[in-house]
Structure 1
Amino acid sequence: MTLNPSEIPEFQLQRNALGRLVYTGADGVAHEGITPVRAFPLSAPDEGVSLVATTGQELAWLPRLSQVPQAQRALLEEELAGREFMPVVQRLRSVSTFSTPSTWTVDTDRGPATLVLKVEEDIRRLPQRGRLLITSAHGIVFLVPDLNALDRHSKRLLERFL
C-alpha cells in the first residue's frame, strides 16, 4: 500500500465488547485486536503509526497521528499509552553497588520504583543530548529525558555507569 505522505487512509476504529480495537478498512473488512505501533516513539511520536493485525500484517500506515480524526486518534492514543509504558526518572535515590548487577531505587513520574540493572549496556544514550533509556532486568524501560536536569546526587550515581 503506497500512500502520499499527506494522505490518511479511510478507516473506522472502535472497541468491541471485550475492549479490543477493531479496524475496518475502506474494503469493509473488520480486523479485531489490532495494535497501533509507532515507528519513532521517542524521536517523532506523532509521525508514522502502523496499524498491525494479530497476524503481524500491516493494515494501514498513518503518516501523522495529528491528521487522524479526533475520535479515532483518542482510541489510538489510549492504546499506545498502554503499550508504551515508560516511567520518567526524576531522581536516583540509591544504587546498591557500582558494578552490575545492581539494584537502583529511583523516583519516577509514576512514583518510587526499584529496578535491577543487569549490565551497563542496559543504559542507552539517545541522539538527543542528555537523554537516556534504562532497561530493567524485568524489561521495563525508564526514560531520563535530560541527564543535566537531574540533581547533583543523581548525576553522580548515574555517571558511574556511563
Structure 2
Amino acid sequence: MSDVQSIPFQLSRNAFGKLVYSAPGETEVHEGVVPVRAFPIAAPDTGIAIVSTDGRELAWIDRLSDLPETIRGLLEEELASREFLPEITRIKHVSAFASPSTWTVATSRGDALLVLKGEEDIRRIGESSLIIADTHGIQFLIRDLQKLDKHSRKLLDRFL
C-alpha cells in the first residue's frame, strides 16, 4: 500500500513551459501558477501553496513526499528554477574587517565573491543559521554555524 495520497488537482506544463493547474469538477484552468514555500529554509519540503497569477491560493500541500512522482517532480523543478539561495560552506577570505568588505566564499553552487556593505546585512534566522545579503541583492545561506570550519567561524565572528 502506498503512502502517497490521491490529490484533488492536476499539474502540467503548457507549450511555453508554464505550470497549468486544473481540478476535477472545475471549469477554470489556471495557467502560470506558482508554487510558494511557507518555510523555505526551516522546512523546505513542507507547507507549499500553489498560487494563481492573481495571488489566490489554489491548493495547499502539506508534504512534497505525499504527492505522486510526476507532480512532485514538476513542483521541485519549478521551485529550483525560482529559488536561488547558495549555501556558504566555507569563508575563504575577507578583504577587510570594516564595511564594505569583499568576501571570497565556497558555496553549494561553487566559489563566489560577495560584497558586504554592512553588518546589518547579516541576519540570524533560527539558532544557528544566517542569511547574508550582498550588494547585488543575492542572499547567501549559512545553514549551521557549527558546521563551518574554524577559520570560517573566526572570520564571521568579526562581523557578528
2:30 is matched with: 31
Instruction: Report the secondary structure of 2:156's partner residue.
Output: helix
1:149 is matched with: 147
Instruction: Report the secondary structure of 2:98's partner residue.
Output: coil
2:63 is matched with: 64
Which portions of structure 1, spanning 4 or more consecutive aligned residues, are displaced by more than 4 angstroms? none
User: Structure 1 vs Structure 2: percent identity of aligned residues?
Assistant: 57
Distance 1:56 1:8 in 2: 25
Distance 1:109 1:133 in 2: 14
* Deviation, structure 1 residue 25: 2.2
* Deviation, structure 1 residue 8: 7.0
2:91 is matched with: 92
Contact 2:86–2:141 (Cα < 8 Å) also in 1: yes
Gaps of 5+ in 1: 1-6
- TM-score, normalised to structure 1, is 0.88
- TM-score, normalised to structure 2, is 0.89
Distance 1:157 1:56 in 2: 42
Contact 2:37–2:48 (Cα < 8 Å) also in 1: yes
* Deviation, structure 1 residue 79: 0.7
Instruction: Report the secondary structure of 1:92's partner residue.
Output: strand
* Amino acid of the structure 2 residue aligned with 1:149: K
2:19 is matched with: 21
* Deviation, structure 1 residue 147: 1.4
Distance 1:73 1:28 in 2: 24
Distance 1:102 1:45 in 2: 31
Distance 2:38 2:6 in 1: 16
Contact 1:102–1:116 (Cα < 8 Å) also in 2: yes
Distance 1:14 1:133 in 2: 33
The count of aligned residue pairs is 155
